[in-house]
Amino acid sequence: MRLFAVVLLLTAATASAQQPTPSAPPAIPTPADAIAAAKADDWADIDPADLMLFDFDGGRRVVIQLAPDFAPDHIGNIKLIARTGHWKSATIYRVADNWVTQWGAGEDEQERSPPLPKGVKERPDEEYSRTATGLTLLPSGSVDPYAQMTAFASNWPVAVHRDGRVNLAFCYGTVGVARGPAPDTGSGSELFAIIGTPARRLDRNFAAVGRVISGIEHLSALPRGRAPLGFYDKEQAKIPLRSVRVGSDLAPAQRPKYQVMKQTSAAFARYLELASHRRDYGYGYGYGSDGAALCAIPVPIRPKP
């Protein structure tokens, strides 16, 4: 019996290998094929100033790409916090299944933490949405329950609203700023990442500041918190943050090097089209799958070759 193996990463090479005879039907291209076929110019280097390396205890490295086009004040705060020692006692202290993993200087850690560094805006403006420019729309049919339409802007997934503004959507792996009930209470000293169903109801209500581009499993596969709301209880070992660095602060040879597929590239257009009309592998015999949710089409990211 063949194993269930429908994933985005099934490659064209694999598909070809399965169809050795001339009379076999042509391999149906997959979104992964579009990624594999992309040319060097279809990719943009990610500025190392927009990359952060979070090294948690136990060799758990999480790389986050920041989105300064969307939340510059919050991101300014986060970089200041990372550079000035406020997070020296920071931990992962909350893992709520199908919701978020959260870390930083939580209530318990604050007492042992240096104060927020000078220059941090303790109550930054909301930065929940911005004006819409340079949109790449999803193929027709990709409607959205939360917004007028969905698109990509600055190589990020966005929801487009009636007021003409867009927000960075809270998809799996999106990083947001934790806060209290009032909108201006999140400095950036506590962050969360989505580890389940897209948390789209956070759209325009919380500041999205980036996405995990490597090491998400170090956040998503952690033991779930047993206290209410998924906080770790007293018997659960919080996971210390050992080191945090902004990519551009490293020596040039040490800097993390990643690329994002340009939303304006031909490769991305092909990727979007294929992701919205699946007929490959396990989809080809039945109804196939037409349409795609914004969060089901992650923007391709890769280590720079």
Contacts with a second copy in 143-162 (CB under 8 A)?
143-147
d(CA 244, CA 78): 11
- Residue 141 has phi, psi (to 5 degrees) of 100, -20
Q: Is 283 in the site for a second copy (CB under 8 A)?
A: yes
The 3-class secondary structure across 256-280, one letter per residue, is CCEEEECCCCHHHHHHHHHHHEECC
With CB under 8 A as the contact rule, the residue among 40, 182, 251, 253 that binds a second copy is 182
Query: Which residues in 63-82 contact a second copy (CB under 8 A)?
Result: none
Q: Is 115 in the site for a second copy (CB under 8 A)?
A: no
55 vs 190 by CB, closer to a second copy: 190
Q: Is 290 in the site for a second copy (CB under 8 A)?
A: yes
Q: Is 86 in the site for a second copy (CB under 8 A)?
A: no
With CB under 8 A as the contact rule, the residue among 29, 68, 183, 240 that binds a second copy is 183
First to last CA, the chain: 37
Binding-residue total with a second copy (CB under 8 A) = 83
| Sheet with 156-160, edge to edge strand ranges | 130-131, 165-168, 156-160, 149-153, 136-137
Instruction: Output the smallest distance, CB 276 to a second copy, in A.
Output: 8
Q: Is 113 in the site for a second copy (CB under 8 A)?
A: no
- Residue 25 has phi, psi (to 5 degrees) of -65, 155
Q: Is 100 in the site for a second copy (CB under 8 A)?
A: yes
Q: Is 2 in the site for a second copy (CB under 8 A)?
A: yes
With CB under 8 A as the contact rule, the residue among 60, 79, 86, 200 that binds a second copy is 200
Query: Which residues in 253-282 contact a second copy (CB under 8 A)?
Result: 278, 281-282
Answer for the pair 191, 102: CB distance below 8 angstroms, yes or no.
yes
Instruction: Output the smallest distance, CB 254 to a second copy, in A.
Output: 25
The 3-class secondary structure across 160-194, one letter per residue, is ECCCCEEEECCCCCEEEECCCCCCCCCCCCEEEEE
> What are the structure tokens assigned to 175, written together?
């990083």
Q: Is 40 in the site for a second copy (CB under 8 A)?
A: no
d(CA 50, CA 246): 7
With CB under 8 A as the contact rule, the residue among 41, 45, 57, 97 that binds a second copy is 97
262 vs 270 by CB, closer to a second copy: 270
